[in-house]
Amino acid sequence: MARTRFVWVRPAFAPAEMPGLVLEWRRGPDGGWCALVTWVESRGRVITAWVPADELRPVEAKPRTGSAYG
């Protein structure tokens, strides 16, 4: 769990998934993985919080080449 990546975040009690950026991974107190994630709520508030891995889903996308032409 060492890569920084884009994820879909669904925190407990949230009505929908939101795009987020994983900044760091660590083991939680129960031994499971948690990620430090930043995302923007639907009302525009920026959140950075430790989120359990089971509340995250990877964003599947093709890698970009860095060129405007693909």
| Model pTM score | 0.75
User: Phi and psi dihedrals of 45, rounded to 5?
Assistant: -80, 130
Domain count, the chain: 1
Residue 5 has pLDDT above 90, yes or no: no
pLDDT tens, position by position, 29-70: 889 999 999 999 878 899 999 999 999 988 886 555 555 554
Higher pLDDT, 25 or 13: 25
Residue 66 placed within a domain? no
Domain CATH number, residue 11: 2.40.50
Taking CA atoms, 6 is separated from 3, 30, 39, 68, in Å, by 10, 24, 10, 21
Residue 27 placed within a domain? yes
Residue 54 placed within a domain? yes
Structural domain span for residue 17: 6-58
Residue 42 placed within a domain? yes
pLDDT tens, position by position, 14-25: 778 889 999 999
Residue 23 placed within a domain? yes
